[in-house]
Structure 1
Amino acid sequence: MATMTVIATTAIPDHLRGALTRWMLEPMPGLYVGTLSARVRTELWSAITASIGDGVAVLLHPTDNEQGFVLHTAGQRRRSPIDFDGLTLIALNPVEQDNEMANP
């Protein structure tokens, strides 16, 4: 059964943008929304994680849990999802400072 899927991206290669727009709408730059089957969603996410490069991506889709959705991330992000007793929470990773700023 097809379900609503949302993918948000930043700085991804052009060929990934093309692959995403074949299956989903892009209402804003880097935001993709569509109704996808689990198989198509999995294949698109595999393509994204395989060639994300320096970019970042977040995938949200409905599932049968307390929150009603699942969150997947790819790439280096300052925010990381963590599981807290079955709930997904977002942890902020500290910003790394330059050596000059760390040692005045």
Structure 2
Amino acid sequence: MVVMVLTACPTGVRGDLTRWLLEIAPGVFVGRLSARVRTRLWLRVCSLMKSGRAIMVYSARNEQHLEFEVFQPDWKPVDCDGVRLIKRPAGTDDATLMGSLPSGWSSASKYRRARKYRG
């Protein structure tokens, strides 16, 4: 199984991928490819991308049962004792990713906490 996610890419790249993969949402492609086709398709995507990002996740025989490739990422893949993880860019925290929720509390937990202290 192969999953490719493209963001801010030229329309020709998306059209090229639809020959091999099914586009289930804008910029999200899935399908089953051989290793040779997957590798050549990834090289073609990387060569056609001018700006934007591409991520490819595919099945592999390892501890995680998956492997991934990234092109022009904001988040960098790192190896941590044989397990591949994604490292966030500096200055990115959960509050920034979730919007304007201060101090990491959800709205529901804030409501419950306020009710508890009211009496």
Which TM-score band applies after superposition, normalised by the shorter structure?
0.7 to 0.9
For the pair 1:51 / 2:40, whether they are aligned, the reply is: no
Query: Alpha carbon RMSD of aligned pairs, Å?
Result: 1.0
Among 5, 10, 15, the alignment partner of 2:12 is 15
Moved over 2 A (4+): none
More strand by share: 1
TM-score by length of 1: 0.83
User: Greater relative contact order (Cα 8 A, min sep 6): structure 1 or 2?
Assistant: 1
Count of matched residue pairs:
91
Q: Which has the larger radius of gyration?
A: 2
Aligned counterpart, 2:83 = 87
Secondary structure of the structure 1 residue equivalent to 2:49: coil
Q: What per-residue deviation string (whole Å, max 9, x for no partner) do you get for residues 66-87 of structure 1?
A: 0001010002x22111011110
Amino acid at match of 1:82: V
TM-score by length of 2: 0.73
Aligned residue for 2:32, secondary structure, equals strand
